[in-house]
Amino acid sequence: MTSPAIRLAGVRRTFEAPGGSTLIALDGVDLEVAPNEVVALIGPNGSGKSTLLRVIGGLLTADGGTVEVEGRAVTGPDPAVGFVFQEPRLLPWRDVLANVALPLELAGKPRPEREARAHDLLRLVGLDGFAAERPTRLSGGMRQRVALARALALGPSILLLDEPFSALDELTRERFDIELLNLWQKTSTTVVLVTHSMTEAVFLADRTVVLSPRPGRVVATVPSPLGRPRRLADLGSAATAAAAAEVRAALGDIRAMSADPDPAELAAVRAGTEDAT
Ligand SMILES: Nc1ncnc2c1ncn2[C@@H]1O[C@H](COP(=O)(O)OP(=O)(O)OP(=O)(O)O)[C@@H](O)[C@H]1O
Ligand SMILES: [Mg+2]
């Protein structure tokens, strides 16, 4: 049996909330992701999706439980893990090529090697013609592709994507979804993707994992009925709609549960109400 690419067991993460109280973002999260699997994470706002991704990527430490990537305990960022944030976070004063080459520069690769690699990556995401442009001259979708190329620079075996398509219009997003699937096939990576779109989750992933409201934990897993490779026509298929409805039902069930009240949030709401009266 192959060991999982990602293994989380009983993961807990808390934050200090204003006023000295403790906010439990994640509690008791168990999740295993197989090599080459694509998993979509979906859940209400504040259910800890970004926190979970950061814990897997070694950008945040867990307060409890185990976090392993390819059998190693996660202690910090790992070159085997690529991360794409919700905002592309490109350096505006560097051109596109230099942005993509940044991780290679930090890894001490010589200039000819990193530039050749960055050109290859830009070709992979269909942007080689824009290597000399500043990021500000690109559209939002193009910037996200640059961020994706940068995340692939060190040849990660695991890719963590935090709502990378949320800022794109629907048509661009569909094209991006297809591109991501093509890329996934070419690079054979394990992918964990956060999305708010139930259809996108079913279309892209092998299974969709539903998180509860805070504190986030896994409350349902919905397998995708779609085979590989996937085609754009699968997006509108009855099978996709049925699985998306299953995800929706799981989210609907948890909407009825109450999140633990955040004292700071409550105080702000009360203050707002008093102001209004
Ligand atoms: N650095 C931080 N300091 C304090 N609280 C934080 C921090 N990061 C996250 N939180 C809190 O942890 C909870 C989970 O946040 P997180 O960003 O992981 O949720 P999410 O599921 O990604 O939400 P969204 O769908 O809005 O992106 C929230 O209540 C948030 O306020
Ligand atoms: Mg988030």
What pLDDT, in 10s, does the model give residues 116-137? Answer: 999 999 998 889 999 999 999 9
Report percent pLDDT > 90 for the chain: 73
Burial of 83 (0-12, 13-18, 19+ CB in 10 A): buried
Note the pLDDT of residue 277: 34
* Domain ranges within the chain, ordered by starting residue: 6-80+159-276, 89-155
CA-nearest residue for atom 1, ligand 1, is: 15
What's the pTM value of the predicted model, to 2 decimals?
Answer: 0.89
Is the CB–ligand 1 distance for residue 214 below 6 Å?
A: yes
Closest CA to 26 of 211, 234, 191, 150: 211
- The full length of the chain comes to 277
Note the pLDDT of residue 146: 94
| Residue given tokens 């999140």 in the structure block | 259
CA-nearest residue for atom 7, ligand 1, is: 15
Note the pLDDT of residue 263: 59
Note the pLDDT of residue 124: 86
**pLDDT beneath 70: ranges in the chain:** 1, 254-277
Residues 134, 95 contacting (CB under 8 angstroms)? yes
What is 6-80+159-276's CATH superfamily?
A: P-loop containing nucleotide triphosphate hydrolases (3.40.50.300)
Tens of pLDDT along 179-198?
889 888 888 899 999 999 99
Ligand 1 midpoint to CA 52 (Å): 10
Ligand 1 midpoint to CA 25 (Å): 7
Is the CB–ligand 1 distance for residue 45 below 6 Å?
A: yes
Query: What number does the ligand 1 atom closest to the CA of 262 have?
Result: 29
Looking at all shown ligands, the one closest to residue 196's CA atom is: 1
